[in-house]
Amino acid sequence: MSSVKKQLFEQLAQIAQAIASPQRLELLDYLAQAERSVEELSNLSGLSVANTSRHLQILKQNALVEVRKDGNKRLYLLAGDDVVTLVASLRNTAETHLAQVENLVDSYLTKKDQLDPVSADELMEMSRNGEIIVLDVRPEKEYQQGHIPSAINIPPEDLSKRLVELDDSKTIVAYCRGPYCLYSFDAVEALQKKGIHARRLVDGFPEWKASGRPVTSEN
């Protein structure tokens, strides 16, 4: 094997090592929604600030995340949408080839997913025809930094008291952080119990954005 090829494989292995941590994968998942400080990521992940910072430095050293200064704050963000695609490829491979992952998905998410999921292409077509209301059930900060155009933001904890804002004569399609995020599952289930025709987007906002589909923000 040529020395150049060996060097290339060494670089690829460094990326693999950088994401070979459940904690770092979780941090990437949060950063796929919105840029955040070390303290915010520490609160979300349950890791100490020091441990969170250590994991972020490994991700930064391997060019998976970047840092932006905002006054006295240092905010972390993904280096690009290709990082979302990388993690999605890892997820798809694990679901296909690892029996334990397949069993977890089948026993938990698939049981919850009797909700007639909508593909991204189908959602775009339905939106063009004005057939649906798109519902973003992520936290407000994540919605503000980027969302599907025309989507309404109602976090799950506010859904029951804000149902009057939704036109129940239309189909409601809910989406959240990604295929393993339960916010959209729970929102659709709650809406269906109220007699509202509701479905969920197969993937979440990061996958939608990484595929090059239109997004907008409140910033």
What residues are labeled active site?
176
**Dihedral over Cα of 191, 125, 127, 153: its sign:** positive
Residue 127 CA to residue 16 CA, distance in Å, equals 38
Q: How far is CA 131 from the centre of its chain?
A: 25
Structure tokens at 118: 């909508």
Give the Cβ contact number of residue 127 at 10 Å.
18
3-state SS class at 130: coil
Rg over alpha carbons for the chain, rounded to the nearest Å, is 19
10 Å CB burial of residue 160 (0-12, 13-18, 19+) is: exposed
Number of Cβ within a 10 Å radius of residue 168 = 15
**Torsional sign, CA 144, 147, 153, 154:** negative
